[in-house]
Structure 1
Amino acid sequence: MSSMTDHPESPGSSGFFSKQATVAKPGFSRWMVPPAALAVHLCIGQAYAFSVFNGPLTKVIGITQSAPDDWTLTTLGWIFSLAIVFLGLSAAFAGKWLERVGPRRTMITAACCFGGGFIISAVGVWLHQIVLLYLGYGVIGGIGLGLGYVSPVSTLIRWFPDRRGMATGLAIMGFGGGAMIAAPLSVALMNHFKSATSIGVAETFVVLGIAYFISMTIGALAIRIPAHDWKPAGWTPPETSHQMITRNHVHIDQALKTPQFYLIWLVLFLNVTAGIGILGQASVMIQESFKNTVTAGAAAGFVGLLSLFNMGGRFVWASASDFIGRKNTYYVFFVFGAVLYYSVPGFAASGNIALFVLAFCLIISMYGGGFSTVPAYLADMFGTAFVGGIHGRLLTAWAAAGVAGPVLVNYIRAYQVAHGVAKADAYTMTVHIMTVLLIVGFVCNLLVKRVNDKHHMSETQLAGQ
């Protein structure tokens, strides 16, 4: 099996943080790698819980209520947006560097950026300079998010050629579940540090920055990469004609010249678009669909349930893809998802809350599953040598879907309501559009074929990287 050690660092590059220093010694258990990956992903998953700071940050000066000079929610909204933008940019543009220097140095850099971003943001709160929050959590923290997201995943794929989906699903499940830890922890810390002169956010940022830096550093120190000739005991690579799994490798730049990259980009984009807009409006949607039936508290419970399915789906669907194949897994997402979306207005009209909730839970499980299945899909298509960098570039689909999904849900709903459509019926057109998007995604997935041999690297080319 080809590994990251196929691509040594430049001459003279050595030391504790070098790629060569992370090559596992004989007898090393590959099951030590998933906890190292989780140590990083559970930290950066905090990004999904950043909204718990928005309310308190509007009262930095006023403490008990917003003062005229306090920040507004619209001003604060750019912090998270910048973080997601720089997550995508760093993942996309640092791919070659990641493959060259290895996971340990990349993960240490991610720890410094993500933890340091919190510290800079804390200073921004103390000085009441919004630009420092944009720079700290948004730009520097966002870079940490991107580097921390892709580096453990590419390493896991190399350790688990027999269970690529399960391995990546385990790590990316951590990203989905990180918010479930971060949200209550952040609230508890703010309450602990709150005083007559402080809302407790700056102090909380400092504690989180240090804690996340330590956890991510532990993961970076524990990470190992397999030796060049390593493979699981008793494992035989599958026939290349089965499940479209290649034994060859495609260079990161060459991958962008293949139709497969753009088809899988669209597959991820369409699957994520169909889910991400719903996540942002889940509470409002169920309350408006079942007016006077579902309370705000029950709607919050619905949102929490969606989070559990989002997290669980990342592991369950990715693990299932090891048995049914990555392409078949996406077929399930698109066919089953389209049927569920098309059925949702009927469930709402009939007042069947149980089926409405179940449908969206399954939809969101497939949304999460799309994230965790795609790294293994890429490894099957392009090989493992540059999968981290290729995965990073593909994550631009996430950034694009992060804009398209909410826009579709929010603006179409607003247009419907403005033209006299009852709020309970305003989402019908939206879910029907989502159905169409999933059908288009099915066609894109159908068109994915084996990468042409002309794109494969020779052994000489691999050795020279």
Structure 2
Amino acid sequence: MTAMASDQAPGLLDRGRIVARAGFNRWLVPPAALAIHLCIGMSYGLSVFWLPLSQALGISKPVACPDMSLMQELFTTTCDWRVSSLLVTFELGIVFLGLSAAAFGGWLERAGPRRAGVSAALCWGGGFLLAALAVYIHQLWLFWLGLGVIGGIGLGLGYISPVSTLIKWFPDRRGMATGMAIMGFGGGAMIGSPLAILLMNHFKDDQSSGVAQAMAVMGCIYLVFMLCGAFGYRVPPDGWKPDGWTQSKERTHALITTGHVHLNDAHKTPQFWLIWVALWMNVSAGIGVLSMASPMLQEIFGGSLIGRPDLKFGDLDASQHAVIAGIAGGFVSLLSLFNSGGRFAWASLSDILGRKVTYFSFFILGMILYVLAPTLAHMGSVALFVGTLCIIISMYGGGFATLPAYLADIFGTQFVGAIHGRILTAWSAAGILGPLVIGYIRDAEIAAGVPRAAVYDYTLYILTGFLLIGLIANALVRPVDHKYMMTDEQLAALKTKASTATLPDGSHGIGFGGFSPAVLLAWLAVGIPFLWGVWNTLVKAVALFG
């Protein structure tokens, strides 16, 4: 959206309406971003709906139609949906996350984070409400449209909405600032999954699985919570910087540029594609593990999870399968905790190490751990195997959280949000590659008669190869050639079009408001749900080491 003329009052959602004034505290911005990311992070927890939805008509058992085609399944009202068809919802969401982030990144830079955040709230919360209607009338195509397509667009808009703003508010702590927000995406499932289970159990009866009602309630909660976050966004005036901070004091890493690359030129640089490949490989390896985490633990350790190491996975009876499935659920929750915590920890560490070195750590340490994992599995050490995968997933999350700061270092901050959106198409590609590789090889190994405890060995070695490719791509990243940098005239023209005020001489009382009740309330609003999710995760994970 174009900036409004100077003699017109900016609209409620316009960028000009959210320029911070004197006395504003920049520490109010991260909880606003967290409010949005904690909601859209439920995308990682949608699997809690699949089993209840696969028997939404039968309630106690699925109403199956064995000869039903996919086209028939999209419109049937008499047969339950297959889990494999429901999984398409998640895949659609990830694909549209990347596509919408790339498509709307430039618009976000012009329109501002509030308008993007409100749009994200309407799409994500509205997607849940539409999905609830789809469950109620039993239409799979509408479910895909609501939670997969429209919800996926909400994911993309919500994910990138705070990136540029946080980097501009925290030029002295880029990694930490984006890590605080993006950790919410990794931790959203820790809150959403147990909440969904509570709601489904509350609404479930002999006539209903409780899914439609649960999704409707969650859609309303997400809509309100995300709108609060969106209206909490503020942008700093042009020229603002923290008191006493200068770029030269922080420029200890050669990759940190002092210029800015235009959005239209970023993809023309080799750095864009090298970072794209590095992210693609890191995410492909991590998401491959996440997609099969529960069956992987169950099939590798079998009876060892319940104190019966003499029993392999295929030797367990139905009741024992149910017990180890619950334990594996605790493992998945623990991975979510490390996915979230790793985003903040690794991104903060990147402020010290530098982004390129941090990505080197992901690839080198990850390769070592992926190679060790099969050995630890065959040793029968559940604790070491689980600990290894938790560290791996922390680096998966850390790669996402460090990325915006890496891009700001390389391309400057002027279009970092939009460039970040385009880079996230690597996530869409990884959402296909990682699960496809690990699922295909697992099925091939089982078909070849390989014992269940060993079917993941080759997969983990192949994922190590992914990281090697990422390592090479990251090693080739160099400072952007000066010919791609915007000129002073181009930057001045952009600022003339922008609706933000300019403070060329410093902060003028903006950014450091000290402690206030508003800051406390903002952090409590996001902190309490997050800590509730952490507590639930730790309780479930106790069974792994009990």
TM-score (norm 1): 0.95
1:386 maps to what in 2? 415
1:332 maps to what in 2? 361
**Cα distance between partner residues in 1 of 2:329 and 2:132:** 29
| Corresponding residue SS for 2:303 | coil
Correspondence for 2:443 among 398, 414, 418: 414
**Cα distance between partner residues in 1 of 2:291 and 2:276:** 22
Q: CA deviation at 1:194?
A: 2.0
Q: State the superposition RMSD in angstroms.
A: 1.7
Is 1:252–2:263 an aligned residue pair?
yes
Is 1:177–2:187 an aligned residue pair?
yes
The C-alpha deviation readout for 1:80-100, integer Å capped at 9, x for no partner, is: 222221111110100111011
2:140 maps to what in 1? 130
Length, aligned pairs only: 459
Q: 242-251 vs 170-179, which deviates more?
A: 242-251
2:261 partner letter: V
**Cα distance between partner residues in 1 of 2:332 and 2:103:** 34
2:358 partner letter: T
| Corresponding residue SS for 1:234 | coil
| Corresponding residue SS for 1:45 | helix
Is 1:398–2:427 an aligned residue pair?
yes
The C-alpha deviation readout for 1:148-167, integer Å capped at 9, x for no partner, is: 00011221111111111111
Say whether the 8 Å CA contact 2:253–2:354 is kept in structure 1.
no
**Cα distance between partner residues in 1 of 2:301 and 2:202:** 38
Q: Gaps (5+ residues) in structure 1? A: 1-6
Q: CA deviation at 1:9?
A: 2.3
Is 1:462–2:491 an aligned residue pair?
yes
1:3 maps to what in 2? none
1:260 partner letter: Q
Say whether the 8 Å CA contact 2:4–2:10 is kept in structure 1.
no
Is 1:280–2:291 an aligned residue pair?
yes
The C-alpha deviation readout for 1:240-280, integer Å capped at 9, x for no partner, is: 56241112111112000000000000111111111111112
Q: CA deviation at 1:138?
A: 1.3
Q: CA deviation at 1:349?
A: 2.4
1:437 maps to what in 2? 466
1:92 partner letter: A
Say whether the 8 Å CA contact 1:8–1:20 is kept in structure 2.
no
1:164 partner letter: R
**Cα distance between partner residues in 1 of 2:343 and 2:363:** 16
Say if 1:70 and 1:301 are closer, same or farther in 2 by CA, change over 3 A: closer
The C-alpha deviation readout for 1:60-115, integer Å capped at 9, x for no partner, is: 32233322422222222222222221111110100111011000111111111111
1:269 maps to what in 2? 280
| Corresponding residue SS for 1:292 | helix
Say whether the 8 Å CA contact 1:243–1:325 is kept in structure 2.
no
| Corresponding residue SS for 1:273 | helix
2:3 maps to what in 1? 9
The C-alpha deviation readout for 1:383-422, integer Å capped at 9, x for no partner, is: 1111111111111111111111111211112222322332
**Cα distance between partner residues in 2 of 1:78 and 1:288:** 24
2:18 maps to what in 1? 22
2:232 maps to what in 1? 222
Say if 1:59 and 1:419 are closer, same or farther in 2 by CA, change over 3 A: closer
Is 1:108–2:118 an aligned residue pair?
yes
Is 1:299–2:293 an aligned residue pair?
no
Q: CA deviation at 1:27?
A: 2.1
Q: Gaps (5+ residues) in structure 2? A: 65-78, 307-323, 495-546
1:38 partner letter: L
**Cα distance between partner residues in 1 of 2:135 and 2:436:** 30
2:149 maps to what in 1? 139
**Cα distance between partner residues in 2 of 1:9 and 1:216:** 24
Correspondence for 1:50 among 37, 42, 46: 46
Say if 1:350 and 1:198 are closer, same or farther in 2 by CA, change over 3 A: closer
| Corresponding residue SS for 1:98 | helix
The C-alpha deviation readout for 1:337-382, integer Å capped at 9, x for no partner, is: 1111111222222233332222111111111101100111001000
The C-alpha deviation readout for 1:115-137, integer Å capped at 9, x for no partner, is: 11122222222222222212211
Say if 1:421 and 1:129 are closer, same or farther in 2 by CA, change over 3 A: closer
| Corresponding residue SS for 1:290 | helix
Q: CA deviation at 1:45?
A: 0.7
Say whether the 8 Å CA contact 1:24–1:227 is kept in structure 2.
yes
Q: CA deviation at 1:8?
A: 6.8
Say if 1:265 and 1:64 are closer, same or farther in 2 by CA, change over 3 A: same
Say if 1:197 and 1:19 are closer, same or farther in 2 by CA, change over 3 A: same
1:254 partner letter: D
Say whether the 8 Å CA contact 1:8–1:19 is kept in structure 2.
no
1:225 partner letter: V
The C-alpha deviation readout for 1:298-341, integer Å capped at 9, x for no partner, is: 33332222221111111100000000000000111111111111
1:378 partner letter: L
Q: CA deviation at 1:143?
A: 0.8
2:247 maps to what in 1? 237
Q: 60-69 vs 136-145, which deviates more?
A: 60-69
Is 1:153–2:163 an aligned residue pair?
yes
Say if 1:299 and 1:211 are closer, same or farther in 2 by CA, change over 3 A: closer
1:277 partner letter: G
**Cα distance between partner residues in 2 of 1:224 and 1:336:** 38
The C-alpha deviation readout for 1:397-454, integer Å capped at 9, x for no partner, is: 1111111111121111222232233222222211111222212211111100000101
Correspondence for 2:57 among 58, 61, 65: 61
What is the aligned-residue identity percentage?
56
**Cα distance between partner residues in 2 of 1:47 and 1:436:** 28
Determine which structure has more spread, i.e. the larger CA radius of gyration: 2
**Cα distance between partner residues in 2 of 1:246 and 1:81:** 36
Say whether the 8 Å CA contact 1:283–1:303 is kept in structure 2.
yes
1:368 maps to what in 2? 397
1:186 maps to what in 2? 196
TM-score (norm 2): 0.81
Say whether the 8 Å CA contact 1:238–1:245 is kept in structure 2.
no
Say whether the 8 Å CA contact 1:263–1:445 is kept in structure 2.
yes
Correspondence for 2:95 among 75, 85, 89: 85
Q: 43-52 vs 66-75, which deviates more?
A: 66-75
| Corresponding residue SS for 1:293 | helix
Q: 63-72 vs 162-171, which deviates more?
A: 63-72
Q: CA deviation at 1:58?
A: 2.2
1:179 partner letter: A
1:39 maps to what in 2? 35
**Cα distance between partner residues in 2 of 1:8 and 1:241:** 37
